[in-house]
Structure 1
């Protein structure tokens, strides 16, 4: 696979682990540990996919998702510790395309990324 992925998570271990895995899978991974930096990357880099933590120190991943959805169909996978049914429903209703609860398996994350990207032809993604 190829293309840019923006990964926004405030956990340095998650950033490093996921980034290293996705680079091995052939992606160019841009990371941010706070929401506003992630939003700048999303706006300026035109990623193929966004991996987004819900609980960030400055602005919630859910708010970032809602903001992105106002003007973009970039696929978003939420990576979060929030495992409740109401949380999953709220995220999906806000525009998240998939939802993965921490801790997660990197191979499953890879499969979910491939699955989401199959459903979004490059021409349909815009910001």
Structure 2
């Protein structure tokens, strides 16, 4: 169990300020607490200081490729079980195969509508116990 770590609902890793503002506003209006960062390196640093119930990661970020960010998140015991959603273009079959095998919870394609993110609210509503977000798999069907 980790002590003195901040807990919140959603970590958003997105480099576009307009998209970031839109998502934060939407989630907060729906009762979620959010932290946001503009690059993968900052996202990994944020996970050292706090544990979200769900992570939303843009597929096109400066400095660290989304693939490297996901590998780092999944390599750490504190974050390996946090539901992780990617959002962006995934037209390439090779990319879809990589995503499927990396422990990614889901993908939200761009362009998106805000209702596409309602699934994150479902995951964020579950309790966080000992760094593991718990949910009933039957709820996902």
Query: TM over 0.5, yes or no?
Result: yes
Aligned twin of 1:125:
132
1:23 lines up with 2:28 in the alignment: yes
Aligned twin of 2:117:
109
Contact kept, 8 Å, 1:98 with 1:116, in 2: the verdict is: no
Flag the structure with higher strand content.
2
Q: Which runs of 5+ in 1 are unaligned?
A: none
| Partner Cα separation in structure 2 for residue 98 and residue 104 of structure 1 | 14
Q: Which runs of 5+ in 2 are unaligned?
A: 1-7, 134-141
Aligned twin of 1:7:
12
Flag the structure with higher helix content.
1
Contact kept, 8 Å, 1:52 with 1:78, in 2: the verdict is: yes
RMSD: 2.0
Aligned twin of 1:69:
74
What TM-score do the two structures reach when normalised by structure 2? 0.77
Q: Which entry has the higher C-alpha Rg, 1 or 2?
A: 2
Residue 45 (structure 1) shift: 1.1
What TM-score do the two structures reach when normalised by structure 1? 0.84
User: Which one of 41, 66, 87 corresponds to residue 95 of structure 2?
Assistant: 87
Moved over 2 A (4+): 81-86, 114-118, 120-124
